[in-house]
Amino acid sequence: MVNASDPCMQDIGILASTDPVAVDQACLDLVYNSTDPGKDKLIQRIESLHGVHTVEAAYDLGVGNREYELIDLDK
pTM: 0.86
5 or 52, higher pLDDT: 52
Average pLDDT, stretch 5-17?
A: 89
**Cα-based distances in Å from 13 to 9, 33, 72:** 11, 14, 10
Per-residue pLDDT band at 19 (split at 50, 70, 90): very high
Give yes or no for a contact between 64 and 22, defined as CB atoms under 8 angstroms apart: yes
pLDDT digit string, tens, across residues 23-47: 999 999 999 999 999 999 999 999 9
